[in-house]
Amino acid sequence: MKLLNAAQIRQWDAFTIEHEPIVSLQLMERAANACTRWLLQHTLADVYYIFCGKGNNGGDGLAIARLLYNSGKTAKVFILESDAKGSEDYISNFNILHHLSAIPIYQLRSEQDLPVIPESCIIVDALFGTGLNRGLTGLAAQLVQHLNNAQAPTIAIDIPSGLFCDQSSRGQSVIRARHTLTFQVLKMAFLIAENEPFFGLVHLMDINLLPAFPDLVSTPFHIINQALVQRIYRPRAAFAHKGNFGHALIIAGSYGKTGAALLSTRSCLRSGAGLVSVHVPEKSVAIMQTGAPEAMVLPDADATTITRMDYEPDPFSAIGVGPGIGTGIKTRFFLRELLERETSSLVLDADALNIIAENPELLNLLRPGSILTPHPKEFTRLFGTQEDDFKKVEVAISKAMEFNVVIVLKGHRTLVALPDGTGFFNISGNAGMAKGGSGDVLTGMLTSLMAQGYSSKEAAIMGVFLHGLAGDFAATARGMDAMIATDIIEHIGKAFEQLF
Ligand SMILES: NC(=O)C1=CN([C@@H]2O[C@H](COP(=O)(O)OP(=O)(O)OC[C@H]3O[C@@H](n4cnc5c(N)ncnc54)[C@H](OP(=O)(O)O)[C@@H]3O)[C@@H](O)[C@H]2O)[C@H](O)CC1
Ligand SMILES: [K+]
């Protein structure tokens, strides 16, 4: 699914008005109705303090005030005054409300006008939406601070006021909402980690914008959804045999970190590969054969670390390397040797990435189509510090292009950055997965998918989606606090079932 920017969303609005057709005031009414229904269903307050700017976001707020009043609620409206005369639909809604006279309207012209906000009310933030084109200053910034200091919860309409859709809002005055009721589609701002304090829980309000529009525009960003992954997924043929599903190799573990090897191997086994081998330090062999009897074990010559490749890499259709291997000198030599040899595509994770970060020339040895799976800290070690998280997305994509690899930048909204310059955000998964071992599970899954012949793009998109979905099932079964990486593995099967 395409991730549209603010300008494209406004064009979609205009497209719907022209082709449905619907007059824009009615589209605003549709939007306000959706928000009002949500407020009536999900909030218990009997008074709503509705703060409006003078654009269409403010127009939404005025319409919501009227609809809440019609449903028996008390609404008070506060207008952030400015020299602007107001958008057409704002003015229409203002006139309707003015004639109604039952809803008090207060004009905010200076700091003295900022109202005392009772704890028991609900604040509705309809100051600025997708039309924000500069940071908030003056009274607008003071009002935002005033609302953020209030005890009452804030519900933002479309996007928290002051938050830019498509660029960083670092250092800006932004509303901190408990919930955001956003129209039709997610905005990029909601997928970026640094914005977490602002948008709270995001709820999509379907306002029936015409579905034909997104096909008419191009965008570098996409959201990974079930439909996309279903298109990638290839059901297993009934007459297939294990030879049809590739042979995956996991290279992982060191003394005290055999668990990482076990998690990667188990998740690899659970993700469909025909055969799975695992290269571990010699001392880990018994643990691996007991913990993952379906896998074949290639013991390292060294007792406690990965040091040598005493086997030919040719039979393996994909190799995952890194979980728990450490960054010792022999392991570093091993990784260089692996990168220099002609092998199938690699999935590089954890300490493999840390070794590369310390020896950046190794980046030039990466085989095209390899997948790198850094978490934000590993990403910084590899590619330096960026001034904000939007920049991080930009750098991930430019590095994917430069080295012709797929970069999976892990996080709550994992980004799959592709060498063709596009980026795919994953929206499955939950905070219960923010625990040791989750990344090892992803490495195993990606290696398994690559081994089966999925391209690195397909494997990365499908893998992060299934990993998150398995995590969501694990959270349902065990709870976010109690769930562990093994629970994610246990639910990979159920995640696959959603693709049939
Ligand atoms: N697209 C949809 O699905 C629908 C959206 N709706 C709602 O409309 C808003 C977008 O409305 P818009 O009028 O385009 O913009 P805003 O209300 O966000 O902003 C209005 C004007 O405010 C000025 N502005 C921008 N930044 C600042 C600032 N930092 N300080 C002061 N003023 C600012 C700017 O005008 P200028 O002339 O001053 O540049 C904006 O134009 C969307 O978010 C939805 O809530 C529809 O109701 C339904 C469909
Ligand atoms: K808003």
AA identity, residue 255: Y
Of all protein residues, the one whose alpha carbon is nearest to atom 9 of ligand 1 is 57
Q: What pLDDT sits at residue 56?
A: 98
CB of residue 132 inside a 6 A radius of ligand 1: yes
Measured in degrees and rounded to the nearest 5, phi and psi for residue 296 equal -95, 140
Would you place residue 474 in the very low, low, confident or very high pLDDT band (cuts 50, 70, 90)?
A: very high
Tracing tokens 């991730």 back to the chain, one arrives at: 3
What does the pLDDT look like over 142-157, one tens digit per residue?
999 999 999 999 999 9
In sequence order, what DSSP letters do the residues of 399-428 get, joined into one string? HHHHHT-EEEE-STT-EEE-TTS-EEEE--
pLDDT at 46: 82
Residue 243's pLDDT band (boundaries 50, 70, 90)?
A: confident
Is there an atom of ligand 1 within 6 Å of 129 CB?
Answer: yes
- Is 231 labelled as part of a ligand binding site? no
- Asked if residue 324 belongs to a known ligand binding site, the reply is yes
Which of residues 345 and 255 earns the better pLDDT score?
A: 255
Q: Could you tell me the distance, in angstroms and rounded to a whole number, from the CA of residue 129 to the centre of ligand 2?
A: 5
The percentage of the chain sitting over the pLDDT mark of 90, rounded to a whole number, equals 97
Distance 53 CA to ligand 2 centre (A): 9
Give the model's pLDDT for residue 342.
81
* Number of the ligand closest to the Cα of 90: 1
Indicate whether residue 56 lines ligand 1 (CB < 6 A). Answer: yes
- Coil/strand/helix, residue 70: helix
Percentage of the residues of the chain whose pLDDT score is greater than 70: 100
The model's pLDDT over 269-309, given as tens digits with 9 standing for 90+, comes to: 999 999 999 999 999 999 999 999 999 999 999 999 999 99
Q: Which residue's alpha carbon is nearest to atom 46 within ligand 1? A: 28
User: What average pLDDT score do residues 332-349 get?
Assistant: 94
Q: Which pLDDT does position 345 carry in this prediction? A: 86
Average pLDDT over residues 25-38: 98
- Segment 461-482 shows an average pLDDT of 98
Name the fold adopted by 6-219.
Rossmann fold (3.40.50)
ipTM beyond cut 0.95? yes
**Ligand 1 contacts CB of residue 87 (under 6 A):** yes
Q: Is the minimum distance from the CB of 345 to ligand 1 under 6 angstroms?
A: no
- Residue 180 Cβ inside 6 Å of ligand 1? The answer reads no
**What is the pLDDT confidence band of residue 365, given thresholds at 50, 70 and 90?**
very high
Q: Other CB atoms closer than 10 Å to residue 385's CB: what's the count?
A: 10
**pLDDT for residue 25 is more than 90:** yes
Q: Are 254 and 326 in contact (CB under 8 A)?
A: yes
Establish whether domains 6-219 and 226-497 are of one fold: no
Domains of the chain by residue range: 6-219, 226-497
Ligand 1 atom nearest the C-alpha of 31 is 48
Q: Is 3 a residue whose pLDDT tops 90? A: yes
Walk across the sheet containing 74-80 and list its strands: 105-108, 74-80, 47-52, 122-126, 154-157, 179-183, 201-205
Where residue 232 falls among pLDDT bands split at 50, 70, 90? Answer: very high
Average pLDDT over residues 233-261: 95
For ligand 1, atom 26, the nearest C-alpha belongs to 132
Does the pLDDT value for residue 242 go beyond 90? no
Pocket test for ligand 1, best of 57, 60, 190 (most atoms within 8 A of CB): 57
State whether residue 359 is helix, strand or coil.
Answer: coil
> Dihedral through CA 48, CA 49, CA 50, CA 53, nearest 10?
180
| Count of helices and strands (H, E) across the chain | 17, 17
Note if the pTM is more than 0.80. yes
User: How far is the centre of ligand 1, averaged over its atoms, from the C-alpha of 8 (Å)?
Assistant: 14
Backbone angles phi, psi at 36, to 5 degrees: -65, -45
For position 343, what pLDDT does the model report? 80
Averaged pLDDT of the chain: 97
d(CA 434, CA 470): 14
Which residues of 225-300 form beta strands (DSSP E)? 247-251, 275-280, 296-299
Greatest CA span in the chain, whole angstroms? 85
pLDDT of residue 92 exceeding 90:
yes
pLDDT tens digits along 9-20: 999 999 999 999
Confidence of residue 484 (pLDDT cuts 50, 70, 90): very high
Judge whether 72 is annotated as a binding position: no
Mind listing the pLDDT tens digit for each residue in 200-230?
Answer: 999 999 999 999 999 999 999 999 999 999 9
Q: Which ligand 1 atom minimizes the distance to the CA of 12?
A: 1
Residue 380 is predicted with a pLDDT of 98
Name the class of domain 226-497. alpha beta
Counting Cβ atoms within 10 Å, is residue 383 exposed (0-12), middle (13-18) or buried (19+)?
buried
Q: Atom 32 of ligand 1 has which residue's CA nearest to it?
A: 132
Segment 397-453, tens digit of pLDDT:
999 999 999 999 999 999 999 999 999 999 999 999 999 999 999 999 999 999 999
Strands (E), 274-374: 275-280, 296-299, 318-321, 346-348, 371-372
| 3-class secondary structure, 149 | helix
